[in-house]
Amino acid sequence: MIEGLEFLVSGIILGLTAGTSPGPLLALVFSETLKYGKKEGIEIAVSPLITDLPIVLFVLFILTNLRGYNFIIGTISLFGACYLIYLGIKSLRVKISGFKVEFAEDALKKGVIANFLSPHPYLFWLSIGGPMIFKSLEIHISPTILFILGFYSLLVGSKISIAFIVGESKSFVESKYYLYIIRALGAVLILFALIFVKDGLKLIGLF
């Protein structure tokens, strides 16, 4: 029981850290909430619940083989960089007419694509999450379940909370500063894209 609680606490701490740390998905939560509202921000926040199952299974398979995964993750990172640049340019070019912007696109789809192409979840599960799962399985399946439950409750929950906070304070940014914030977030996405390019090239062995 005590060991199970240790894995639960570990999942909670790691989930909260991942959920509130700067990253492309958090930037999207901010930008989509500001542009379209809380609903779209929440859709971005819950996207890991859709993308992470195949990612986790893929990583666990890689960890059992431990050969050639750097090239795969590096390639994913480069594709992710391209998509983040696309999203960043769209934010940089956004225009406001009476503090209203274009109709929202499919925010959930956007979040799924961004998270699936981001190297962050792959690297997390390769370096931290995967080994934690293997360690917990040596004890029992219940610590594994508690770890995953704690992790995703805080990972998704923290991002949903951020979407609510940003959505409720929307009146403060319905001004000329609104446009500046959206464009700044677009620049942040492009910055992350450049970091992903560097990481991708390094993993592939070209940097």
Residue 79, pLDDT score: 80
Q: Which string of DSSP letters, residue by residue, matches 29-70?
A: HHHHHHHH-HHHHHHHHTTHHHHHHHHHHHHHHHHHH-SSHH
Q: State the Cα–Cα distance between residues 25 and 71, nearest whole angstrom.
A: 23
pTM of the shown model? 0.71
206: CB partners within 8 A, 6+ apart: none
Work out whether the CA dihedral 6, 47, 26, 35 comes out positive or negative.
negative
Contact 199, 23 (CB under 8 A): no
Q: State the Cα–Cα distance between residues 4 and 45, nearest whole angstrom.
A: 27
pLDDT tens digits, residue range 143-186?
A: 889 999 999 999 999 889 888 887 777 665 555 666 777 778 77
pLDDT tens digits, residue range 94-118?
A: 665 543 444 455 777 888 888 888 7
